[in-house]
A = this chain, B = another copy of it.
Amino acid sequence: MTDARTVWQDVERIRAGRPLIHNITNYVVMNLTANALLALGASPVMAQAPEEAAEMAGIAQALVLNIGTLSRPWIESMRLAAAAAKAKKIPIVIDPVGAGATRFRTETALSLIEACRPCIVRGNASEIRALVLAEAATKGVDSRHDSADALEAARALAGFGVVVSVSGPVDLIVGETRLLRVANGHPLMPRVTGLGCAATALTAAFAAVNPSPVQAAAHAMAVMGIAGEMAAEGAAGPASLEVRFIDALYALKEDDIRSRLKVEEA
């Protein structure tokens, strides 16, 4: 079950255990990703060299693979890290940034998901649709769809042992037999580059302390949305929202979750 108590329990586990989250992610968001993980209480590391990708994954508690600025050598390192993560049975979270925008992204995302199962996939509705429907995007990395439009695609992916977290005004968490909706968040959040990627990294931090991928994904999206709501109060625009978001993650209290959490299971 996902309620304020279980969300808060995971936050406390992250803060106490400081799980090491190994990120092979894109250049645009590395700094924000590291700061979001540090603010929540986790310990981030970025390492993409083939010489160390497996070794780093081997000391981590979760692995993030994000294809936002992908290239052949990094894909190879992602595979090495994923193999080490699977051997160590730590969770793998994949962010198919821009799937649908180019064939290279769609195919890379699909082959990573194929190689990494079981895992959690966190993306926006256009990206999740592209993975299943071979649908081409015209807007690069921003979503053209509402999360509800990706429900069937997410269910199809979930049939292959993947938990799918579709972000949007209402986030959907789709497992093989479960469907959760998280209605926290704020409309200004998509105007900050990398908040989606930060959500992926936080999902990995929650997965490091919670054995249920569905719960980990839901808890991460709830904490993202709640910190975003708190940040939006008093923000003058996207940059002050970003600063306030990180500060809110750091200062998050049980009562913030208790008073704001909007999760329901279908």
Contacts and interface: CB of A to CB of B under 8 A. Distances in A.
B193 A38 contact: yes
Contact of A246 (B104, B238, B247): B238
B250 A246 contact: no
B191 A250 contact: yes
A69 B239 CA distance: 25
A55 interface: yes
A240 B238 contact: no
Interface string A61-90: 000000011111000000000000000000
Interface residues of A, number: 64
Contacts of A103: 52, 55
A9 interface: no
Contact of A236 (B104, B105, B247): B247
A192 B35 contact: yes
Contacts of A31: 28-29, 31-32, 193-194
A52 B104 contact: yes
A240 B249 CA distance: 12
A142 interface: yes
Contacts of A191: 38-39, 250
Contact of A46 (B18, B48, B69): B69
A102 interface: yes
B56 A140 contact: yes
Nearest to A137: B59
Interface string A168-186: 0000000000000000000
Interface of A: 18, 20, 22, 26-32, 34-35, 38-39, 43-49, 51-52, 55-56, 59-60, 68-72, 98, 101-105, 137-142, 191-194, 235-240, 242-251
Given A43-B140, A52-B101, A237-B251, 15 more contacts: A28-B30, A31-B31, A31-B194, A34-B193, A35-B193, A35-B239, A35-B242, A39-B239, A46-B69, A49-B104, A51-B72, A51-B104, A56-B101, A239-B243, A240-B244
